Amino acid sequence: MTPSIGVIVNPVAGVGGPAGLKGSDGAEIQAAAITRGSSARAEGRAADALALIGRMRPGAHVLTAADSMGEDASRAAGLTPDIVYRPAAAETSGRDTTAAATALAHAGARLILFAGGDGTARDVCDALLGDTAVLGVPAGVKMYSGCFAVSPVAAGAVAASWMTRGKHPVAEVEVLDVDEEQIRHGRVDPTLYGMVRIPIEPGRTQARKSPTGASQLGAVRSAAAGVVERMRPGVTYLLGPGGTISEVATLLGVEGTPLGVDVVRDGALVLADASERELLALVDGRVARAVLTVIGGQGFLLGRGNQQISAAVLEKIGDDPLIVVATEEKLIDLGGRPLLVDTGDPDLDMRFEGYAKVVTGTRTTSLYPVLAPESKGTS
Amino acid sequence: MSLPIAPKPPLRRFHEARWDEPIIFELSTPGERGVLVSRTESDVRSTVGDVVDALPHTLRRETPPALPEMGQMRVLKHYLRLSQENLGADLNVDIGQGTCTMKYSPKVNEAIVRTPLLADLHPLQSEATVQGILEIIWTTEQMLAEISGMDRVSLQTGGGSSAIWANIAMIRAYHEAAGEGDQRSEVITTIFSHPSNAATAKAAGYNVVTLYPDADGYPDIEAFTAALSSRTAALMITNPEDTGIYNPRIAEFVDLAHSVGALAAYDQANANGILGITRAKEAGFDTCHFNLHKTFSTPHGSGGPGAGATAVSDKLVPFLPGPLVERDGDRYFLDSDRPESIGKVAPFYGVVPNIVRAYAWMRSLGAEGLREAAEIAVLNNNYLMKRILEIPGAGAPYASGRRRIEQVRYSWQDLYEETGITSEEIGVRATDFGVHYWTSHHPFVVPQPFTLEPTESYSKSEIDEYVGILAEVAREARETPEVVRTAPHRQTVHHIHHDDLDDPDRWAPSWRAYQRKYFAGDDG
């Protein structure tokens, strides 16, 4: 049987963009945007993705939420959806997105296509998704998360391929969000909000000639194995957040905290989900290294999502405090932009500037540029 | 029919043969034979005895191998049918396999290597009876030494990766001889260099450091400087890289490597744009290699046999693989007494038929002709790039507005964002027009990549035909994307999914693996 696809449209996603509002979170901003003559673009973009599914998979079984939350876009695309969620009020909120995603997963959707931005991704991430994967149709103002396709039709093509094949590999990616108030004041500080699973297309992102690392999952495992290979007895390792580092914990056989910092020594868990204060105590007088990966599409290494590994903790660890790990794909996806550090201590940041040796596998590293944007003017 | 026949449309109305041929094992009929081998004569049998019985048990099969049992004519038909079901280099406009230099392999050279004088040679014949072929090997080495500027060449390696392996094996031996084997633990390469450079370095026991391109697509020289240390054993680099961008600061890279005591290896597998124009020697390299099956026109053979040429400067000569062919007056001989050599990297003296083909190709062109081949390859490539960039949705990342050398790594990212059609899908659809198309080496740095290299062999009209096909498929991606997505339609096979190739539990690289993974239950 063809797997069902769930559809959610955040009807107000993207409304703040054309109005120059840096985002669309919250009823006030949405009203302000509409006052400025903006209209949301999510429904049209969702319909673009769904129209492709309709063409490639005529009669595709689509589950969705009522009216503007997906039903309208589905019908506009020529599909006949089953409605599994109805919002209580005409004006929907993020809570409706979360409730709709939970209802879709519960109704048997194996993949949820959602049209929106980072705020919508957060709300979807809050749902009880179980094994259900998600994929974002890019329609928001902010899209720092790793769960968006490059375009609506690209999202539709991946979803249709998923329906054709029945079984599909998935990868865990980060959901990031940025405080819009901060962007409106010129700051971009994305925080790591959670992890979701997205479908990956093997053979489309990797060359078939490559004898190893035939999939992204293989590449993540290989990068994580490269970290484990570099671990030494008696050294305390602070495992930062992120999917690649979760794989390090898996290889060590310890239960990791995907969004937190776990401390391991000699292959055993010392403390899970440690705070900055706990980390300071644990590295005191010991040889330690912090294991970090690239957070989000902006390439943050320090200062976003892993603030527990603070300037004070890094100072205490001493020289050469980092092991940086990432797949080659992740570095390539940065498109040449440098890795970023922002610990809040410009002098410390300066010490990281230059090039980082990024572990990409057993005995393989990539040398990648690092920038300390906050240290400018202090040096 | 009626004459005159209608003019041909600009796009070929191609259809590949579709024989729906079973796998050869499925054609087997128990007891059927192609040749009935005569029984041994009784005198012979009584003199020699039971030869099978003399074999040690460890070498003897318990049960005969499960080979297909077939008559001659059925075997012939089987392979002729399979041969019709492909897009060989002599059938299609084969400019879609960039980096591989799919130039014409002159058929007269095939006639030369099939003469009994060559085909019947045995590698263990006495040197006195093979002076001719030793002279050809020696002369080919001299020509390649001149082309690279290097001091000595070995033709022993059987292909490109084997030659890259020889590069790093010699470098390892050099550092060990200097007492720095343990200290020099790192090899630096670039992400646009052929992945065999990283792979062989890793296989040789080195830690591999990969550099990314700077904004212009050149290897990042500052990153290289930061990566260098007393631990560095070598720089292994391609130039021009797969992007077709020539790194004009290559000599600086080599100098920097030398400044910390490291060596520099130049991957010249594809030297097709620089023959007679630049040389490894002038850039200061210590070793380089050529693929005879790329630049020097020998056939690719789809996985073999290829042939590699390893060229080195004086300091690496003692480490060359061997034996080497030496000349003493008019006499040629094999020198195996080379204590510092990395030894054999292939059986005997190299892929002799390919050495002869390359020798014949170079002799037919001469020095001027070789340079002209490179110049035409570059001219063809820049003409092709101009035409490709006229197709909406196609791009050539890096070095915008500048010329490329012999190939270009293009991107369909704009078309993908607009249509959801991937580069791989475009390649599959292109086969419906009778041409081959390839994407990129691992890893995909350029999104939705495709790599074209027209070499000097193709005429303007054939390059135009290829561009016309890609333009048509790009138009289809916009207007009738289902046609592209469900392709191929005029091919030997229908649309297939690759999932089984990505899952070790499901892929089947041999008949035995196929039986085991899919039918083991049926056999009990």
The count of residues in chain B is 524
- Do A137 and A32 belong to one domain? yes
Mutate which of A45, A161, A165, A332 to disrupt the B interface (most B C-beta within 10 Å)? A332
At B21 the pLDDT is 96
Average pLDDT, chain A: 85
Say if the Cβ atoms of A151 and B417 lie within 8 Å.
Answer: yes
Say if the Cβ atoms of A207 and B421 lie within 8 Å.
Answer: no
Residue at A207 is within a domain: no
**Which has more confidence, A183 or B113?**
B113
- Do A150 and A283 belong to one domain? no
Residue at A310 is within a domain: yes
Mutate which of A328, A337, A353 to disrupt the B interface (most B C-beta within 10 Å)? A328
Residue at A209 is within a domain: no
Cβ(A306)–Cβ(A252) under 8 Å?
A: no
**Tokens 């096909």 belong to residue:** B469
Q: pLDDT confidence of A186, banded at 50, 70, 90?
A: low
Pairwise CA distance, residues A258 & A290, whole Å: 15
- Cβ pairs A/B, distance under 8 A: 116
Angle formed at CA A173 by CA A170 and CA A178, multiple of 5 degrees? 150
At A183 the pLDDT is 60
At B151 the pLDDT is 98
Structural Rg of chain B based on CA atoms: 26
Domain boundary (A199, A224, A247) is at A199
A232 CB-near residues (< 8 Å, 6+ apart): none
Instruction: Encode pLDDT of A322-374 as tens digits.
Output: 999 999 888 888 888 899 898 888 899 999 999 999 999 999 999 999 998 87
A242 touches chain B (CB under 8 A): no
Q: pLDDT confidence of A14, banded at 50, 70, 90?
A: confident
Cβ burial, residue B424 (10 Å; 0-12/13-18/19+): buried
Amino acid identity at B328 = D
Cβ(A75)–Cβ(A17) under 8 Å?
A: no
Amino acid identity at B308 = G
Q: Give the CATH number of the domain where residue A92 resides.
A: 3.40.50
Q: What is the share, in percent, of chain A residues with pLDDT greater than 90?
A: 48
- Do A173 and A112 belong to one domain? yes
Of the candidates B207, B226, B413, which has its C-beta nearest A363's C-beta?
Answer: B207
Strands A322-325, A354-361: pairing is parallel
Question: How many of the other CB atoms lie within 10 Å of CB of A209?
Answer: 11
ipTM of the complex: 0.85
- Do A327 and A291 belong to one domain? yes
Q: pLDDT confidence of A142, banded at 50, 70, 90?
A: confident
Say if the Cβ atoms of B502 and A157 lie within 8 Å.
Answer: no
Which residue of chain B is at minimal alpha-carbon distance from A56? B482
Pairwise CA distance, residues B469 & B327, whole Å: 52
Instruction: Encode pLDDT of A32-82 as tens digits.
Output: 766 665 566 889 999 999 998 988 888 888 999 999 999 999 999 999 999
For chain A, percent helix, then strand, then coil, each to nearest 5? 35, 25, 40
A156 touches chain B (CB under 8 A): yes
Q: What is the mean pLDDT of each run of 10 residues along chain B (524 residues)?
A: 88 96 95 92 90 85 90 97 92 94 95 94 95 97 98 95 97 98 97 93 97 88 96 96 92 98 97 96 97 94 83 98 94 96 93 96 97 98 98 93 94 93 94 94 85 97 98 97 95 84 84 91 50
Give the residue ranges of DSSP H helices in chain A: 27-35, 42-56, 71-76, 94-106, 118-125, 152-165, 180-184, 216-230, 243-252, 276-283, 311-317, 328-333, 346-352
- Do A114 and A189 belong to one domain? yes
- Do A281 and A341 belong to one domain? yes
Instruction: Encode pLDDT of A267-313 as tens digits.
Output: 999 999 999 999 999 999 999 999 999 876 678 898 877 888 999 99
- Do A138 and A229 belong to one domain? no
Domains identified in chain B and CATH numbers: 128-364 (3.40.640.10), 374-495 (3.90.1150.10)
Torsion over CA: A26, A27, A31, A34 (sign) = positive
Pairwise CA distance, residues B244 & B278, whole Å: 15
Instruction: Encode pLDDT of A235-272 as tens digits.
Output: 999 999 888 898 999 999 998 887 889 999 999 999 99
Identify whether B240 is preceded by a cis peptide bond (ω within 30 of 0): yes
The helix/strand/coil state of B293 is coil
**Tokens 């720092």 belong to residue:** A144
Domain boundary (A147, A176, A199) is at A199
End-to-end CA distance of chain B: 59
- What are the angstrom distances between the C-alpha of A315 and each of A98, A230, A232, B237, B472? 41, 22, 21, 38, 60
- Do A113 and A193 belong to one domain? yes
Range of the domain at A169: 4-199
Q: How far is A76 from chain B (nearest CA, A)?
A: 19
Q: How far is B161 from chain A (nearest CA, A)?
A: 13
A275 CB-near residues (< 8 Å, 6+ apart): A308
Say if the Cβ atoms of B223 and A153 lie within 8 Å.
Answer: no
Q: Which residues of A touch B191 (CB under 8 A)?
A: 328, 332, 366
Interfacial A residues in 166-185 facing B (CB < 8 Å): 167, 169
Q: pLDDT confidence of A379, banded at 50, 70, 90?
A: very low
Residue at A206 is within a domain: no
Structural Rg of chain A based on CA atoms: 22
Domain count, chain A: 2
The residues pairing with A117 across neighbouring beta strands, listed in sequence order, are none
Say if the Cβ atoms of A207 and B202 lie within 8 Å.
Answer: no
In eight-state DSSP terms, residue A295 is B
Domain boundary (A199, A231, A259) is at A199
Q: How far is B53 from chain A (nearest CA, A)?
A: 42
Pairwise CA distance, residues A37 & A53, whole Å: 32
Give the residue ranges of DSSP H helices in B149-205: 160-177, 195-203
Cβ(B244)–Cβ(B405) under 8 Å?
A: yes
**Which has more confidence, B394 or A158?**
B394
A364 touches chain B (CB under 8 A): yes
Q: How far is CA B193 from the centre of its chain?
A: 14
Cβ(A53)–Cβ(A74) under 8 Å?
A: no
Identify whether B7 is preceded by a cis peptide bond (ω within 30 of 0): no
Q: Which residues of B touch A368 (CB under 8 A)?
A: 212, 223
- Do A181 and A306 belong to one domain? no
A337 touches chain B (CB under 8 A): no
- Do A155 and A235 belong to one domain? no
- Do A240 and A343 belong to one domain? yes
At B413 the pLDDT is 92
- Do A84 and A160 belong to one domain? yes
**Mapped to the 3 state alphabet, what secondary structure does B15-58 carry?**
CCCCCCCCCHHHHCCCCCCCCCCCCCCHHHHHHHCCCCCCCCHH
